[in-house]
Amino acid sequence: MLSEQELIQIRRELHQIPELGFQEIKTQAYLLERIKRLPQSHLTVETWKTGIFVYVNGLNNDKTIAYRADMDGLPIEEQTSYDFKSKHSGQMHACGHDFHMTIAFGVLAHAAFEQPSSNLLFIFQPAEEGPGAAQDMLKLPQLTKWKPDSIVALHIAPEYPVGSIAIKPGLLFANTSELFITLKGKGGHAAYPHSANDMVVSASHLVTQLQSIVARNVDPLDAGVVTIGVIKGGTKQNIIAEQAVIEGTIRTRSIETMTRIKQRIENLVQGIETGFECEATINYGANYCQVYNDPKVTEPFIEWLKTKEDINVIICSEAMTGEDFGYFLEEIPGFMFWLGVDTPYGLHDAKLEPNEKAIPFAVKAIIDFLYRR
């Protein structure tokens, strides 16, 4: 296994070059260079866009276990106390994907030196934060010729202490969808409302109406979120706004509720079009399928975790966060788990400073699991 120092150095080097979805050029080059320095005897390395596949041929060649790590950063200006801050202004690894890649590389490095019994497929996935890449990657020949029997991934969890792994069988992360609505009417002079269609007024009505969906259309024993985070319209205080834009996110526990909420949004938007004589467009942006941990593979993992004295196992509840990894789990049985990194700031926070001690802990835990007898 790589030393703690080496792992932390890799994390810090990756932390300094965060790149947005499908722009992970330096990140990909960095990882390829690191992979090239490993023994190559049972590795096959292939790339797709800014992503990387590394297939590790196992001794028994019986089954293939995939391990996925996401690669992209976020459009956030870093505000940590680090002396190894992002060198890309306005971009930051604020979701721990620098940790995810480092841990995957740590496990891969071990597998390169010590051939595992089963085949392993490391998937370094770009664009997790958007627009998403899992659906496209699933269609690639690599996923056919190296067809995984199961797939595993982790996500850092700021709220849990280092040394802990939180997981549950079944639903772990929600179904999520972005929401962008544009309303177009007719602008005009503030004193002549009768000859214009005011999009500030129609957007205000729409935002209020959208609140009724979770309250009135979602089973109270199910759950859903419709959050509008942005409302923009108009240019000046004495001009009637010709256009307004509403941006938000939808989260649900079930696929059916996601469909239902979208249908209600479409109906309400249609009503606004008629009622306010305007034209509206709806764009759902990045959509993520739920992360559903297959109990058949998750429960044995939990049982194994419980036998490890150095791992604090937490059976958590599901979260309304979203993850592109859900698409992999739709096609391949597997699971995702939370890795405790013990920091007061949440994911996507400009001050996020996950505890680096979690890196060697996770590398060891995953190696122990993959090489267990």
Q: Which residues contribute to the site for Zn ion (CB under 5 A)?
A: 95
What is the distance between the alpha carbons of residues 240 and 217, in angstroms, rounded to a whole number?
Answer: 33
Residue with CB nearest Zn ion?
Answer: 95
Short-list 111, 91, 159, CA closest to 358: 159
In the complex, minimum distance from the CB of residue 96 to Zn ion, in angstroms, rounded to a whole number: 6
- 70 catalytic residue (yes or no): yes
Query: Is 25 within 8 Å of 50 (Cβ atoms)?
Result: yes
Residue 270 near residue 179 (C-beta atoms within 8 A): no
Q: Is 135 helix (H, G, I), strand (E, B) or coil?
A: helix
Q: Which is nearer to Zn ion, 111 or 352 (CB)?
A: 352
Contact 206, 269 (CB under 8 A): yes
User: If you write DSSP's letter for every residue of 255-286 in order, what string do you get?
Assistant: HHHHHHHHHHHHHHHHHHHHHHT-EEEEE--S
Q: How far is the CB of 20 from Zn ion (least distance, A)?
A: 12
Query: Cα torsion for 31, 33, 34, 39, to the nearest 10°?
Result: 130
- What is the three-class DSSP state of 372? coil
Q: What are phi and psi of 175, to 5 degrees?
A: -80, 135
One of 129, 198, 323, 324 is an active-site residue; which one?
Answer: 129
Q: How wide is the angle at C-alpha 211 spanned by C-alphas 208 and 216, nearest 5°?
A: 130
129 is catalytic: yes
Q: Which is nearer to Zn ion, 76 or 240 (CB)?
A: 76
Nearer to Zn ion, 18 or 360 (CB): 18
Q: In which element (H, E) is residue 221 found?
A: none
From the CB of 157, what's the least distance to Zn ion, in Å? Answer: 11
The residue among 7 and 76 lying less far from Zn ion, judged by its C-beta, is 76
Q: Smallest distance, Å, CB 238 to Zn ion?
A: 41
Q: Which of 19, 24, 70, 128 is catalytic?
A: 70
Residue 370: which H helix or E strand, with range? helix 358-370
Nearest to Zn ion of 69, 280 (CB atom)? 69
Two tokens at 260?
């239902």
C-beta of 95 vs 311, nearer to Zn ion: 95
Shortest reach from residue 94's CB to Zn ion, in Å: 8
Q: Name the minimum Å distance from CB 330 to Zn ion.
A: 18
Report residue 33 as tokens: 């260079």
Which residues are catalytically annotated? Answer: 70, 129
